[in-house]
Amino acid sequence: MTSGTLASGGPAVAPTTHAGRTGILTLFLLALVVVTLAELIGNVSIPLGHGKIILLPLLWALLMGGGLGLAAPRLPPALRLPVALQHAAGAILQPALLLFVAKLGLLVGGSLPKILGAGWALVFQEFGHFFGTMVFGLPVALLLGLKREAIGATFSVGREPSLAIIGERYGMDSPEGRGVLAEYLTGTVFGAVFIAVLAGLIASLGIFNPLALAMGAGVGSGSMMAAAAGAIAAQQTPEMAKEVATFAAASNLITTTIGTYFTLFLSLPFTIWAYGVLEPILGRGRGRTEAAPAPAPSGTVVAHASPAHAAPAFGLPALVLIWIATAALGLIGNWLTYGTKPDGQVLAGAAIIVAVVIVGEVLYRLAGRRLPAVVWASLIGMALTYPGTPFSAEIAAATGRINFLALATPILAFAGLSLAKDFPAFRRLGWRIVVVSFMANAGTFLGAALIAQFWMHPPV
């Protein structure tokens, strides 16, 4: 296993630019319209039995962005979203997520004593993240008749590092490769919507401690974490909502930093073993069990370990402009939905968040890209607001006036604007593996929440 593969989430692919400056400007104008409409719609609560589902502005932004891409062939030329811009939106999504991560890091810093007080709950809930996907997803996959695709679809939540791990070991043309690709695409297209609906429904039942659910929300995907934490926080008091965001960020940071190695050395071997045990019992056509292909030689990178995307490459100056523009979009929601006008203190808070991201990106590059940029941004944010740091109270006050959900809405808008390009491949994968992917996503959330709940409220 090459270190470069793990660090980047897949083999390096030379990006090509199909969207110029005019296209990027058009993309941000579309995002401006989507974000404004989403925030004007606001929160919508739907009763469901004893619980309820809350649809947040970030979900409206995701759905409107995705609908705009899917409807592009039937729209007037001025409103069409060509594939090149969909790829550009996907390329913008990752750096835009750093703003959300930095904001959460600034929240976490002041609450570190409380987080450390969670003790074993925060430590052991990570096992729920990494084994919950298999426990919930693998039996369903076998009952639906999937073979070794079930391994790729259920050994993890299926983000970029998982593609790299399966691609290197089996190749993406293998059953395992098709399974992890299905999980990846399902998470990309529906993951945020699904996890937000599920998290909101579970939170409304009042069964779990909100902080246990917050830890469950840290699944290792920034957009899914934002959607789940938002759905939980929307049903809490303002003070508890901040704690939900804080614990979700702490859990997500742990999942992000150790997730690749945990899935490589624990989750994948355990899922392979469980498949061998359960397939003869639950699988259809037990006499046709597929043998595992031989792993690729150590150090060999199999081609196509991640989906090819014709995404533009951004230099640091372009990234700075993207961060400033995305932060400005976030301030719109901060005003429309949360009633905080962009006065001097709010603008200073936005500037601090952008500065944290810039410094994090610079350190990420100076350190040889060995740690993800999200880790650097999180650590810097935490250090700035940690009690005892000079001016920590002032920094916390300025950045605290920007609601973390306001920053999530433009991020989900870009996610939505990038979705349509993945639908052709998504349709080819079939409905069964989509169901399995949903079960795996539910498993990583519920598994961690159950373990956290146990440690926070042990039986007497």
Rounded average pLDDT over 271-284: 91
Rounded average pLDDT over 253-273: 80
Residue 234 to residues 105, 246, 402: CA-CA distances in angstroms? 20, 14, 15
227: nearest Cα among 252, 259, 262:
252
325 in Cβ contact with 354 (< 8 Å): no
In this predicted structure, what is the pLDDT of residue 233? 92
Max avg pLDDT among 98-107, 280-289, 297-306, 423-432: 98-107
332: nearest Cα among 383, 422, 229, 403:
403
Question: For the chain, first and last CA: distance in Å?
Answer: 46
In a domain, residue 11? The reply is: no
Non-local CB neighbours of 113 within 8 Å, separated by 6+ positions: 387
In a domain, residue 161? The reply is: yes
31 backbone φψ class: left, alpha, beta (φ>0; ψ -120 to 50): alpha
pLDDT level of residue 6 (50, 70, 90 thresholds):
very low
pLDDT digits over 396-451, tens only? 999 999 988 899 899 889 988 988 887 776 676 678 888 998 999 999 999 999 99
Say how many C-beta atoms besides its own lie within 10 A of residue 83's C-beta. 14
444: nearest Cα among 219, 249, 123:
219
State the Cα–Cα distance between residues 351 and 349, nearest whole angstrom.
Answer: 5
In a domain, residue 15? The reply is: no
Please, what is the Cα angle at 162 between 153 and 181, to 5 degrees?
Answer: 45
Torsion of CA 34, 35, 41, 46, to 10 degrees: 90
Structure tokens at 433: 């593996």
State the Cα–Cα distance between residues 130 and 444, nearest whole angstrom.
Answer: 7
Non-local CB neighbours of 129 within 8 Å, separated by 6+ positions: 157, 216, 218, 219, 220, 251, 255, 259, 444, 447, 448
- Residues paired with residue 148 on neighbouring β-strands, in sequence order: none
Q: What's the predicted TM-score (pTM) here?
A: 0.69
In a domain, residue 335? The reply is: yes
Tell me which of 2 and 52 has the higher pLDDT.
52
Total domains present in the chain: 1
State the Cα–Cα distance between residues 262 and 150, nearest whole angstrom.
Answer: 19
Residue 371 to residues 9, 197, 363, 376: CA-CA distances in angstroms? 12, 32, 9, 8
pLDDT digits over 306-361, tens only? 333 344 568 899 999 999 999 999 999 999 998 999 999 999 999 999 999 999 99
What is the Cα Rg of the chain in Å? 21
Max avg pLDDT among 77-86, 108-117, 143-152, 419-428: 143-152
In a domain, residue 260? The reply is: yes
Say how many C-beta atoms besides its own lie within 10 A of residue 346's C-beta. 18
Structure tokens at 123: 């430590």
State the Cα–Cα distance between residues 217 and 51, nearest whole angstrom.
Answer: 19
299 backbone φψ class: left, alpha, beta (φ>0; ψ -120 to 50): left
State the Cα–Cα distance between residues 306 and 318, nearest whole angstrom.
Answer: 25
Q: At what angle do helices 373-385 and 344-366 cross, to 10 degrees?
A: 130
Rounded average pLDDT over 154-180: 77
* Residue 232 burial (C-beta neighbours within 10 Å; 0-12, 13-18, 19+): buried
Structure tokens at 223: 């957009």
> Which residue's entry shows tokens 């945020």?
192
235 in Cβ contact with 200 (< 8 Å): yes
Full domain range(s) for residue 335: 21-456
Say how many C-beta atoms besides its own lie within 10 A of residue 25's C-beta. 12
164 in Cβ contact with 152 (< 8 Å): no
Report helix, strand or coil for 197. helix
The pLDDT mean for the chain works out to 81
In a domain, residue 6? The reply is: no
Strand stretches in 38-181, DSSP E: 44-48, 51-55
In this predicted structure, what is the pLDDT of residue 304? 37
pLDDT digits over 349-402, tens only? 999 999 999 999 999 899 988 777 877 888 899 899 998 899 999 999 999 999
Rounded average pLDDT over 73-97: 83
Please, what is the Cα angle at 205 between 202 and 209, to 5 degrees?
Answer: 75
Structure tokens at 176: 């395992």
413: nearest Cα among 75, 196, 92:
92
In a domain, residue 2? The reply is: no
pLDDT level of residue 104 (50, 70, 90 thresholds):
confident
State the Cα–Cα distance between residues 193 and 205, nearest whole angstrom.
Answer: 19
